[in-house]
Structure 1
Amino acid sequence: MGMISRVRGRIRSDSFTKIHTLKSEDKIANIVWLLSLVFLLPFWAPRGLLVALGGAWLMAAYTCLVVPVLISANYRYPARWYPAVAKIVRRVARKLRPYFDCAKNVLRVAYAPLERTEKLFLQMNNLSTMMCQLLMFTACDRLFLSQAKLTSLYSLMFYNVVTYSVSYIREICTKEDWSPFVNVTRHSQVKHLAMSATKIVLEWTKAITFIVTITFILLAFGLEQGLEHYRPTALYTVTTGIYYLLSERTFLELWPIAISALKLERLEGMETLYFGVWARGVTTALAVPLVPALAWCGRWRLAILVLYLCVFVHGRHRLGEALIKLNEARGSLAKFRRATSQELATLEDVCAVCLGAMRSARVTPCAHYFHADCLRRCLAASDRCPICVRPYVFC
């Protein structure tokens, strides 16, 4: 009897402790939920409490610090009504799904003319790029500068001048024909006087324009003449500079060349494709936090324009196209395994396509080694091995 009573007492004590534990967890979950509401109140305060106290960056810092903590706390101590609400939401969404699909089709048909307009706008590459740059610079004016008077135009003009100087220096470095004369035909030695005179005038005009441009920059920023309202902060300069360097066509052509000089084997010669994704991803990511900050400050029209052009259109079309090209290139090479370092050391050969040394390579089923980018270009033209001309057969 004593043994039975002790067992009964232990069972009762264990059950009570479990009930007590459940009650304590429910209390913690309710407390976490209430604290979450308290910490989220500044987001709903009238006239933007965080922006009024410390600007848009205080709101961004508060968001990055508080919101992840609240999400993890609610995940660690979920209230009992969370699963019930999620179950009801899933049930309602399942019932409303046919209506959502119908509405999606209607919106797709209605959006088709606007989508064609977007593609036409993006085909005008210089105009679309300049519009996005101007919107981003104007948004940075409104958020990062207290007295923003034409700072965005000054900055865009200065960056365009730098781009012109860089493109001219690049043209000089890559120029092969330094002759001032133009022949009548390719194989003739007879000089065309009118075309030769035109070429000489154009070359001297470019050189003089470059010298005048550099002199103007040195005078403007050295003597600070005519720049009374140009007072960019370090944050403004860094943000706009990064966006411009990753969106202007001249630099988009130069960055892959600089990355290829690092000879990163992981990229396998596809620096242009990888950098296209990186550049468009970074520019889109820079524009995303500016939208809620502008809306918080009451700049609704500018926020809508930045959201539509710099985030939606740029991210959907340009970033999407870059991702599609990269995934297609990686998908075409996925069947071919990478060559190991031991195989490359034993081979001591060059790529049969580009005749370059192979630090990394892909192996075909017929045991031939090629650079990944060279093999990808060969696959675009034919599905046969460039050496033995056999069709690829994968086991």
Structure 2
Amino acid sequence: MGMISRVRGRIRSDSFSKIPSMKSEDKIANIVWLLSLVLLLPYWAPRGLLVALGGAWLMAAYTCLVVPVLISANYKYPARWYPAAVKLSRDIARKLRGPTARVVSVLKAVYAPVENAELIFVKMTNLSTMLSQLLLFTACDRLFVEHSKLTSLYSLMFYNVVTYSVSYVRELCLKEDWSPYVNLTRNSQVKHLAMSATKIVLEWTKAVTFIVTITFVLLALGLEQGLDNYKPTALYTIITGIYYLLTERTFLELWPIALSAMKLERLEGMEPLYIGVWSRGVTTALAVPLVPALAWYERWRLAILVFYVCVWIHGRHRLGEALVKMNEACGSLARFRRATAEELATVEDVCAVCLGAMSSARVTPCAHFFHADCLRRCLATSDRCPTCVRPYIFC
């Protein structure tokens, strides 16, 4: 019996000691990987089940809550095969780099005529803006309005009416010459009868159109006449209203003025450039989530059009152009340091370009102070100091 027990003990010690024990981190990594598979199963479930349980909204909420947790958990406790898979993918990408570059060059050559057509389309600002607005309004109509009928067209018409009213009021506020007559020359007092009559008719037409427009809006909203098919939801109104305010030219001209009134010194007088980037970035971001939502409801043609016009063309050309202008402006000013509050208090001078007071300024190598926007405009025409006309020499 003693011999048998000694043999069993030797066998047990020799065999089980050679089996590697699994570490606690490996166990946690395997558990996290298995739980990730289980929690990702709803994405493979039939579409009818998810629609019955809550549809796209339930799936969006589930994605926002679960997917970040899964990514962070797998990042903290990676399985053993994760590094090997990453290394294998890097090796494959390194081997395919040459053929991929050749394929990309061929695709660029094929896509060049389409890109030229896109540039021509973007240059037709009114047409491209109206088409992007109509596509996004239609997408929101299909997604957020139940039993929608022409809600997008009603909305676009109503927003255009508001825009016309705003532009007319702005024209009245900025108008300096209230005379109904037109002189033959600038210094002449002789009236041009034909031009004066045309001007009077035009001004009266604008005024009557404005009054009729406001009356129509008040009657439509107050009495709800002719709005049987206009039943927008709050989410529809918010998304379409923000998109319209950030794409329509009339409001794009007003946003820099409103931002300039806030007198944010950090912007350094480049409010139009910042507004261009912010507006195009927000409008592109609004259009991006609509594409998978339309695809979820199997509206493939509308999803493709929204992606191509509102995301691809709008983001690639308009947002890209705004970012290039912003980077150029910031890059041209990066060489010049900001003036400190003590320096501005000591100088107590005005900008030599615009003759305005300086609450913030940039300093040139020749120790002259200018507004950042004024200096940027001067750099666009010359690389010399506007005051001493010396070339900038940076140490």
TM-score w.r.t. structure 1 length?
A: 0.93
CA deviations on 1:188-213 (whole Å, 9 max, x unpaired) are 21110000000000000000000000
Gaps of 5+ in 2: 1-16
- Counterpart Cα distance in 1 of 2:270 and 2:107: 37
- Tell me how far 1:51 sits from its aligned partner: 4.2
Partner of 1:213: 213
- Tell me how far 1:58 sits from its aligned partner: 2.5
- Tell me how far 1:55 sits from its aligned partner: 3.5
Tell me if 1:167 matches 2:139. Answer: no
For the structure 1 residues 372 and 51, does the alpha-carbon distance in structure 2 shift closer, same or farther, using more than 3 Å as the test?
farther
- Tell me how far 1:349 sits from its aligned partner: 1.5
For the structure 1 residues 327 and 48, does the alpha-carbon distance in structure 2 shift closer, same or farther, using more than 3 Å as the test?
farther
Partner of 1:121: 121
Instruction: Determine if contact 1:280/1:319 at 8 Å carries over to the other structure.
Output: yes
Partner of 1:109: 109
- Counterpart Cα distance in 1 of 2:161 and 2:167: 10
The aligned amino acid for 2:337 is R
- Tell me how far 1:54 sits from its aligned partner: 2.2
- Counterpart Cα distance in 2 of 1:225 and 1:337: 61
- Counterpart Cα distance in 2 of 1:189 and 1:345: 51
- Counterpart Cα distance in 2 of 1:36 and 1:274: 41
- Counterpart Cα distance in 1 of 2:143 and 2:42: 19
For the structure 1 residues 352 and 50, does the alpha-carbon distance in structure 2 shift closer, same or farther, using more than 3 Å as the test?
farther
- Counterpart Cα distance in 1 of 2:340 and 2:388: 22
Partner of 1:80: 80
- Counterpart Cα distance in 1 of 2:386 and 2:335: 17
Partner of 1:4: none
* 3-state SS, counterpart of residue 40 of structure 2: helix
Partner of 2:91: 91
Instruction: Determine if contact 1:42/1:49 at 8 Å carries over to the other structure.
Output: no
- Counterpart Cα distance in 2 of 1:203 and 1:63: 56
Partner of 2:349: 349
Runs of 4+ in 1 over 3 A off after TM superposition: 48-52
Alignment of 1:49-198 (within 5 A): 49-198=49-198
Partner of 1:5: none
- Tell me how far 1:98 sits from its aligned partner: 0.9
Partner of 2:11: none
The aligned amino acid for 2:25 is E
Partner of 2:8: none
Alignment of 1:189-268 (within 5 A): 189-268=189-268
- Tell me how far 1:44 sits from its aligned partner: 2.5
TM-score w.r.t. structure 2 length?
A: 0.93
The aligned amino acid for 1:174 is L
For the structure 1 residues 51 and 364, does the alpha-carbon distance in structure 2 shift closer, same or farther, using more than 3 Å as the test?
farther
Moved more, 52-61 or 73-82: 52-61
- Counterpart Cα distance in 2 of 1:255 and 1:53: 43
CA deviations on 1:277-326 (whole Å, 9 max, x unpaired) are 00000000001111111111111111111111111110000000000000
- Identity fraction in percent: 80
Instruction: Determine if contact 1:144/1:235 at 8 Å carries over to the other structure.
Output: yes
- Counterpart Cα distance in 2 of 1:237 and 1:385: 51
- Counterpart Cα distance in 1 of 2:40 and 2:296: 15
Gaps of 5+ in 1: 1-15
- Counterpart Cα distance in 1 of 2:328 and 2:277: 13
The aligned amino acid for 1:336 is F
- Tell me how far 1:251 sits from its aligned partner: 0.5
Instruction: Determine if contact 1:48/1:297 at 8 Å carries over to the other structure.
Output: no
The aligned amino acid for 2:267 is L
CA deviations on 1:255-287 (whole Å, 9 max, x unpaired) are 010000000011000000011000000000001
How many residues are treated as equivalent by the alignment? 377
- Counterpart Cα distance in 2 of 1:73 and 1:348: 58
The aligned amino acid for 2:124 is M
- Counterpart Cα distance in 2 of 1:322 and 1:51: 40
Instruction: Determine if contact 1:48/1:296 at 8 Å carries over to the other structure.
Output: no
